[in-house]
Amino acid sequence: MCDYTEVQYKCGDVRYTVRAWCVRYQETHKRCAPNVVAIEYRLDELCGEHIQ
């Protein structure tokens, strides 16, 4: 599984950013189930969809 950081925004949305692709992804380029290893709080920021 690939390691992801969960990012939580002020608007309540959550995004996942990849920390490290696993070997399987690197070989096949098929996405596997995200393995969330950290949570980052950006509670003073809106996500991309909510920035005007």
Binding of Zn ion at residue 10 (CB under 5 A)?
no
Strand order in the sheet with 14-20: 14-20, 2-9, 34-42
Q: How far is CA 2 from CA 8, 19, 28, 39, in A?
A: 19, 8, 13, 15
Residues 16-45 as x/- pattern, contact with Zn ion by CB under 5 A: ------------------------------
Among 1, 11, 14, 37, binds Zn ion (CB under 5 A): 11
Per CB under 5 A, residues contacting Zn ion are 11, 13, 47, 49-50
